[in-house]
Amino acid sequence: MLSKAVAAAATIAAAAFFGTAASAEPLDALIEQCAQCHGDDRRPAVSPETPTLAGQPELYALYQLVYFRQGQRKQAAMNDLVRDLGDDTLLALAKWVAELPEAPPHQGEPDPARYKRGADLARQHRCPICHNADFAGREHIPRLAGQQEAYLSKALQDYKAGNRIGIQAAMVEVLTEIDDAGLDDLAHYLAHFRP
């Protein structure tokens, strides 16, 4: 059975596909608000725990916006920002996110030992099966390559603890086998990933 957020996102996507949605609310002011935290140069401006939006798949971005709007993902600024937005506006924001150029890998060289441990963990736990071999994501699955390391580390911890939702239980199942140091190494690898 689909969660309410997934059902809502599917309904929004279907409305867009069949052309039943009304015109989207003006986006300029919203995009400016997005840039205040997420940055306008493809890197977040506020905190290392703020995700990079660049290169995220449109459907993934839409699901996250719906989760925030419905309060299924808790982050006060995001919950407040999208609480009263209509479906058309969420669709337009998700499309804007998907059209941003991909974020480059983090500046600086990765720690070779941590990078290797992260690569080994990604391979052992089958991360490329869902997130693709280049970790670019697809459909409802996020792009991980080039994401903020601190954000990735926190997201992995939240999935493992069951504090973050997804449309499947796969993340919890995979991450329960990895200790905290391993999750940090995995985040380091993905943030610095180069094919």
Half-sphere exposure of 47 (CA within 13 A, CB side): 6
**pTM for this entry:** 0.84
pLDDT of residue 17: 42
Six-digit token pair at 122?
Answer: 């990604």
| pLDDT averaged over every residue in the chain | 86
Interaxial angle between packed helices 4-18 and 87-99, expressed in degrees from 0 to 180 and rounded to the nearest 10: 80
The whole-number mean pLDDT for each consecutive block of 10 residues of the chain, a chain of 195 residues, reads: 56 49 67 87 76 93 96 93 95 94 80 98 96 96 94 94 80 92 97 90
pLDDT score recorded for residue 61:
96
For 19-100, where are the alpha helices, taking DSSP H only?
Answer: 28-38, 58-70, 76-82, 87-99
pLDDT at position 21 is 46
What's the pLDDT at 7? 58
CA distance 5 to 33: 23
Give the pLDDT confidence score for residue 8 in this predicted structure: 59
> Which residue has tokens 């890197």?
43
Amino acid at 10: A
> What pLDDT, in 10s, does the model give residues 31-77?
999 988 988 766 676 788 899 998 899 999 999 999 999 999 999 99
**H-helix or E-strand containing 71?**
none
Q: Where are the alpha helices (DSSP H) in the chain?
A: 4-18, 28-38, 58-70, 76-82, 87-99, 112-124, 127-131, 149-161, 170-175, 180-191
